[in-house]
Amino acid sequence: MAFLSRGGRLTLIRAVLEGIPIYYLSLFKMPIGVAKSLERLMRNFLWEGLEEGRKDHLIRWELVARSIEKGGLGVGNLVERNKALMGKWLWRFPLEPDALWHKVLKSIYGIDVNGWDAQPLVRGSSRSPWKDISNGFYLFLECCSFAVGNGEKIRFWEDKWLEKDDLQTLFPRLFRLSCKHNEKIAGFVDCSVFPNNWNFGFRRNLNDLEVVEFTALSAKLDGARFYNTRGDARHWSLERDGSFSCKSYRSLLANNIAFSDFGPCEQIWTAKVPTKVHILAWLVAHGKVNTCDNIQKRRPSHMLNPQWCILVRRGKRVLIIFSFIAPFLFNFGGDFSRTLE
């Protein structure tokens, strides 16, 4: 264990240290103190190994935890992983109506007004796992869309079934005027008849502004199709196939969209070289290799010449030299791997 390279330590972190608490994380909320302790162990193991004495942590852990595409090492944040794993229970609830756990939650908390989920508000003990799981209920719903079948489970105004936004957001005047709030699509139209004859249940005649909205709504509804032979379905909008995945949910929680893509990512991680070489190239790309100037920044009290390179004894940096020879190293690694194959 003491002779592991940094690449080997990264592999162990991904395969072992991240995997140990998975069963616990999938059901219970991890205390913040426990998450910080585990991340401190992973951080120290990555940069220091098991050797005595403290070594430099070259890159802050928040960047290391990002996905590879966003410039990190793909280690991930334990709190975000915990929330994503618990979110899977929100996805499974409407899919397993005959399961014992579904019946227990339904009897204790009841069904939400959307007709799909258990109530997010918990009346019982604050130690109930469902309280922690349902804390992410509203963010989870924002990632769901619907595929219309017979229209008996999807709400006309409140659910996202026709556009990326729900109809109550797109047509607020008509929504306020309608008497059919939280009503299913089947309550607005006879899905077995085509063309569809819609009944919106407006309380009064429409004024000029409402007529404009109604015209736009009617144009959107002209393309709606219903299928009496199949039921309504809920899709996960973060995946192309519509199925829930913890990876996509964790990416949303990590707010990866806010970070720009890491330019050298493909060149670094697709090369057929050992993982320790990948990590070295990754450090070079971030400008965090322990060159003289970086050591001077970390230890200002040391008398160093930041511009002096130990390799050529000139005013060139090791970083620039490595950046020059890196393509040759990657080409050599590729040729060597092809020879082994």
Does 316 score more than 80 pLDDT? no
Does 81 score more than 50 pLDDT? yes
Dist. CA 146–CA 164, nearest whole Å = 10
Q: What is the DSSP letter of 81?
A: H
Nearest in space to 200 (alpha carbons), one of 186, 180, 173, 225: 180
Does 321 score more than 70 pLDDT? no
Q: What is the DSSP letter of 159?
A: S
Cβ-count burial of 111 within 10 angstroms (0-12 exposed, 13-18 middle, 19+ buried)? middle
Dist. CA 186–CA 190, nearest whole Å = 6
Dist. CA 162–CA 165, nearest whole Å = 8
Q: How confident is the model at residue 147, as a pLDDT?
A: 85
Q: What's the sign of the alpha-carbon dihedral 107, 108, 111, 113?
A: positive
Asked whether the beta carbons of 253 and 83 are under 8 A apart, the reply is: yes
Q: How confident is the model at residue 102, as a pLDDT?
A: 92
Does 299 score more than 90 pLDDT? no
Report the percentage of the chain scoring pLDDT > 90: 11
Does 335 score more than 50 pLDDT? no
Least reliable range by pLDDT among 46-55, 127-136, 306-315 = 306-315
- β-bridge pairing 233-236 and 144-147: antiparallel
Dist. CA 58–CA 253, nearest whole Å = 25
Q: Can you name the residues that pair with 145 across neighbouring β-strands?
A: 235
Q: How confident is the model at residue 57, as a pLDDT?
A: 83
Kindly state the average pLDDT of the residues 256-264: 66
Domain ranges of the chain: 94-253
3-state secondary structure 206-220: CCHHHHHHHHHHHHH
Dist. CA 159–CA 16, nearest whole Å = 41
Question: 3-state DSSP call for residue 317?
Answer: coil
Say how many CA atoms lie within 13 Å of 339 toward its Cβ: 7
| 195 cis-preceded (ω within 30 degrees of 0) | yes
